[in-house]
Structure 1
Amino acid sequence: MMQINIEKQSPAILEKTADGFFADFALAAFGRLAYEIEADEPCKVEMAIGEVLAAPGKIEREPGGYRCIKVAEVELQKGGNRGFMFIKKHRSPYQDDYQRSKVLTPENAGGEIAPFRYAEVKGKVKSVKFTRHALFAPFDDDAAQFSCADERLNKVWEFCKYSMKATSCFGIYVDGDRERQAFEGDCYINALGAYCTGGGYEVARRTLDFMISFYPIPAMEYRLFTPILVRDYFLYSGDTDIYRYWKSDMPEKFMPGYMSEDGLYHYPEQFEAMHPALKEMKLYYQYFEMFPDNSQLLIDWPWEERDGYEFNELNLVPHAFLYGAYQAMNDLEPGCGYDAKAAKLQGDIMRLFRRADGRYCDNSVSEHMAVHSAMFAVAWGAADKKDYPFLADFMQKKGMACSVYGAQFLLDACFMTGAAQHAIELMRADNDRSWLGMMRQGSTISMEAWNNAAKPNQDWNHAWGAAPANVIPRRLVGIRPIANGFKKFVFDPQPGDIAEFYMKHPTPQGSVIAEYSNGKAQLTVPEGTEALCGGKSYAAGKHTITLK
């Protein structure tokens, strides 16, 4: 069990109310609430912690969904009282259904933990001292820094960076407080964010160990994430020796039992012969009937975020993932034929899903292109670059037509197709489907969905909703490793209308520092690594680069 750090935090605000005391810790965090209370006489008080306010100085007792609210009665003696508020043991609502395993509360926590920002006590008390025992995996707050001329983007960066830290507390990346489970799709966004913000590499390694062993969810795309996750872990950490423990598990992640002789995933049932009720379930609640098999398609979640994606026997999205997984395996095991598999698959994608006008349609017989078909085809490298202008124009017209999870791939695809300005606009937007919108709703950690209406049962502590934590460093600033352990990296900024920025990026070799102003960059390359920019190589040292 990984030792998790405990920070003892005092509230930013502690104020007396009409019926007790209220505290605001400024930021939400997973932890426990310690109290010291003076009472003039023996009495019973009510204590509460939560994430949502009903009104200034008052915790919302019915926040809805899985926004945190914990309430406990405490018996006080006359004089001084101290202790921890009791939190009932966490139980996932899905433990008896599809959830095969659950990440456990850290042993050194001293008791159950919960995510909260606010605390209050109601009753006849003389004085109160609250201390939050907040839990975090090792996180270097100073390892990564970003600032730019746009304060909106700065706020989004800090919000998403803190989301990486706040959700690390289990020592394994989890999908928020409701399930406390490690899922591959969540891990992809979480791990990249942690690498770029100071979260180090240990939690990523432990999460990969966990997921490779337990295979937590039977969504087809999530299985295909595994080689991509491993490849990225090596690129950022350099810890390649561990592959000898993971290598034998890689072939199973391609689900060969669901792959036909043609190398494609045909839908496991005869789609047109399905009972209408089951067909409707497959279309709209795609991976549920409590997971009867492991070839279910996610596309996006909640299902309303799928932009009308049309399912059929042969679907584009899983094959775009398959292409990305083949490319990752070619990096992990060069010379083993994965490059040939990728080339053959790309030809199949062009033949089955691409239309003459450059559309990449949802399935082999559809004429509909959801934004997901476009963005996954681009993000995983399956789309032909000659189609990038058409796809960029399409994605710009669609806007944020996907979930917070899908936003990762939409932003990547926009930067990859030359629509950097659109990606920047999406990241700094202030509406009901944006990161500034999450903050405006009151959350200090990225949310599971854009808003409570989009997913009524959502929690407010989902790292998969923090894509800008990695997109800003990897795409806007343009720092991405291309050799294991960051021994070589590319620097290709796409700042759009951002006139100036500063980025300090952690690597095993030391800090990469990029300072940009109006077309020129100062790039500091640490010892032991090499940078590539505009076709030129830059050794360790400080370089002035004029960007085209």
Structure 2
Amino acid sequence: MNDLNWIWLPAERFPDLQEADGIASPASPGQRKFAVAEFTFDALLPAPCVSIRILVSADTTYRLALNGRDLCSGPTPVGGDWLPLPRCPRYYADELVFDSLGPQPTTRLAFLATVRLGCIRGTDSSLGHGGFALRAVARLADGSEQTFETGPHWRARHLRAWVDPKHFDGTIAPSEWTPAAPVPDRWHAVAAPIPVRTETPVDPASGGAITVAPGAVAEGVAEYPRIHAADLVVSADGPCTVELRVFEHDASHPHNFHSFQHGAPSWRVRSLAPHSVGGFQILVKNASADKPVSVRASIVAMHYPVEAEGSFTCSDPGLTKVYDVCKWTLRICRQHMHLDSPRHQEPLACTGDYYIESLMTAFVFGDMRLAALDVRRTAGMLEVNDGRLFHTSYSLIWLLMLRDVYLFTGDRALLTDCLPALDKLLTRFRTYLGSNGLIENPPDFMFVDWLVVEGHSMHHPPKGLGQTVLNAFYHGALHAAAWIAEELDDSVRAAALRAEATALKKAFNEQLFDADRRFYIDGLNTPQAECKPWLPENPATLRHHSRHANALAVLFGLRTGDAARNLLRNMLASDLPEVQPYFMHFVLEAVEACGLFPEHGLSILRKWIPLVETCDKGLQEGWFAPQADYHFDYSHAWGGTPAYQLPARMLGFRMLQPGFREIALAPRLFDLDWADIAMPTPFGMLRCRMQKGAEPVLEIPAGLHVRLLRDNVPD
């Protein structure tokens, strides 16, 4: 693909609006580099346009309209980490194809792009300079084609009304239109291998429209039955100020504030970035002394396109509701990258969240292109940053995600393309090993879970609370890497990796198992070589046991057979501190791995029922606040593993050959009376209906090879 032609505001007129920050800054909005520009171009065609293909990108973000119709926003982001990247792995352009531009043929193409310069979200990324690029190929009714590209024939202006990302003051006029300035192509954008997001206007169920008397002030509350990832939209028929305080679940705890004002007789404004919207408080001040003003506030909801949709219903309405809320939360967290939450919008390197979401996707929506791109983008970050991500455990989870996304896609190129990142990752971790054979000197022991233990945050615990978890993930990553090597016909490499895992397992069991308590400790209380910002001092008196360490020891084969089952049974019956919904994914995986799901699986999954009874608009972030003043969000898919566990375990699903070349099923009801399950596959929808006392009824799409098992006994 030829490089795009990039343009920006001319430097001679706008010298202070050229550069951007490289990642969302923790500084206040007034301290960030920020600007909004518009670019426009009109073309008259010799014949009606019957279809158009567009490739578009921007630094930092764009929203594109054609002939007055909003088309999309983007671009597909780099991904990002909390660590600065020495260079950009790959910049993306979005590709759109439209077979129709409206009900009537048109011979005019009017492009309008609104481009924000500056990072305001953790998902934003910039190469440090403003830019916009577009190439459009229009196919005409006479069979000819015309190509349009950005260049100095486009016009540009600065939208000065955007005072900061959350404050629009329409009384401040934009700059005059001027020819756009070509800028050197530092981005070399490639077409993103995913579709653009679906964008849908959604009015609130109530409270979105207010009419205010002359000179008066009025307020109200607008509610949505579900939380959306959405832009805010405000329109009015007169001069006024509109303030929106956005909330997810509880109107008394808004988490975002926006202000819009304008002096025009009629106006409409759309916010610059999506928010997590369950509703908003609205306050309107009528600036007219003699005319009432009518205001309407709503949203444009956005998410990754849904082409197929699984389902789960059963005789336990609580579990059915849990599945539905987890499924909805996954939908709103699937954007042009997976999100932890549309409220937080953390960078892509928070891999633990997105690994769980990729497994949910396999059973709920089936389209794994976004998960595969997340794997590739994270591989790019690992490559340019010498195998390191900010959260050390998440870099190991990336390797598990690589293996499992490959299992569901069968895309061998995904493995081969990610091998350089895999090598750098494991090479780095070998440097963390101490003379005792364990990981002893990593930059940190992040991330374990979102809770506090003995005064220490398990986000970044000391060695005595995080070492066992990190070593267990490392053991799992070594085995995943060995499996990948076997899949790529490299038995020598696989054997070497398994030998490393065997040595680690020996050191792990010799030094981290507490024979008196019959549990693994969370880490050694020996001194650390260095204390860093994210690595607290290790107290010499610290000796702690947790569900986290013991569940991972079972999951990753550091304890096996009856010993593993006994350990897990004792752990589940113990008074060890509970885990949060995120980490419960790994507990459930351990329960399944050692064959205890029939005993414990559904009882654990029922722990989600109080969460969805508290809020069924989206999934609450945790069961208990990590600190007294912490307010949960209600759109956090990292805790959504029930949307994966329920269909996977009740179907007894196992992937026998990657890419659905062959699967195994062993349908089971456990303690339920009935269940209906639909799971999307590349061959169509797989359906299973189960009724107590009857044989399961399966609808298997043509071409899908299924091996039916009497029981899904783990290897």
Shorter-chain TM-score bucket reads 0.7 to 0.9
**Counterpart in 1 of 2:450?**
301
Query: Mapping of 1:449-488 within 5 angstroms?
Result: 449-452=622-625, 454=627, 456=630, 458-488=632-662
Q: CA offset at residue 250 of structure 1? A: 0.7
Residues 521/310 of structure 1: CA separation in 2 closer, same or farther (3 Å cut):
farther
CA positional deviation for 1:199: 5.5
Q: CA deviation at 1:521?
A: 1.8
Residue 175 to residue 344, structure 1, CA distance change in 2 (3 Å):
farther
Aligned positions, number: 468
Q: What amino acid is aligned across from residue 233 of structure 1 in structure 2? A: V
Q: Give the letter aligned to residue 480 of structure 1.
A: R
- Letter of the 1:486 partner, please give it: F
Cα drift, residue 374 of structure 1: 1.8
- Determine if the alignment matches structure 1 residue 425 to structure 2 residue 618: no
Secondary structure class of the residue paired with 1:122? strand
Shift of 1:5: 1.5
Does residue 444 of structure 2 align to residue 251 of structure 1?
no
Q: 1:380–1:489: structure 2 CA closer, same or farther, 3 Å change rule?
A: farther
| In the alignment, structure 1 residue 6 sits paired with structure 2 residue 212 | no
* Secondary structure of 2:431's aligned partner: helix
Q: CA deviation at 1:138?
A: 1.7
Partner letter of residue 427 of structure 1?
L
Query: Does 1:31 find its partner at 2:205?
Result: no
Q: Flag the 1:306–1:162 CA change in 2: closer, same or farther, 3 A.
A: same
Q: Which whole-Å CA distance do the structure 2 matches of 1:488 and 1:442 have between them?
A: 39
Over the matched positions of the two proteins, sequence identity in percent amounts to 19
Of 336, 357, 360, which aligns to 2:520?
A: 360
Normalised TM-score (structure 1)? 0.76
> How do residues 27-426 of structure 1 correspond to structure 2 at under 5 angstroms?
27-38=226-237, 42-53=239-250, 59-60=251-252, 62-63=253-254, 68-75=255-262, 77-78=264-265, 81-86=266-271, 111-123=272-284, 127-140=294-307, 142-174=308-340, 177-182=343-348, 183-198=350-365, 200-215=367-382, 217-254=389-426, 255-260=429-434, 264-268=437-441, 294-304=443-453, 311-312=463-464, 315-334=467-486, 335=491, 336=493, 337=495, 338-354=497-513, 359-363=519-523, 369-398=545-574, 401-417=578-594, 418-426=596-604
Larger Rg: 2
| 1:200 match: secondary structure | coil
Change (3 A) 1:72 1:199: farther
Is 1:490 matched up with 2:664? yes
Cα shift readout 1:232-275 (whole Å, capped 9, x = no counterpart): 0111112221322211111222212112477x33422xxxxxxx
Measure the CA separation in 2 of the matches of 1:453 and 1:517.
41
Indicate the SS of the match to 2:684: coil
Q: Distance in 2 between matches of 1:179 and 1:8?
A: 21
**Structure 2 residue runs without a partner (length 5+):** 1-75, 77-93, 95-195, 211-216, 287-291, 383-387, 526-541
Q: CA RMSD in A?
A: 3.3
Distance 1:203 1:130 in 2: 31
| Residue segments in structure 1 that go unaligned for 5+ positions in a row | 54-58, 87-110, 269-292, 430-434, 538-548
Among candidates 446, 449, 467, match of residue 619 of structure 2: 446
Question: CA 1:529/1:322 → structure 2, altered by over 3 Å: closer, same or farther?
Answer: farther
> How far apart, CA to CA, are the structure 2 residues paired with 1:314 and 1:372?
9
More helix by share: 1
For residues 357 and 485 of structure 2, the distance between their equivalents in structure 1, rounded to whole angstroms, comes to 25
Q: Tell me how far apart the structure 2 counterparts of residues 131 and 420 of structure 1 sit (CA, whole Å).
A: 46
Q: 1:199 & 1:84 partners in 2: Cα distance?
A: 36
User: Do the aligned residues in 1 keep the contact of 2:231 with 2:274 (CA within 8 Å)?
Assistant: yes
2: CA distance, partners of 1:531 / 1:507: 12
Q: Does the 8 A contact of 1:173 with 1:203 survive in 2?
A: no
Contact 1:446 1:461 in 2 (8 A): yes
Change (3 A) 1:233 1:30: same
Q: CA deviation at 1:464?
A: 0.8
Structure with the higher fraction of residues in strand conformation? 2
Alignment TM-score, normalising by the size of structure 2: 0.59
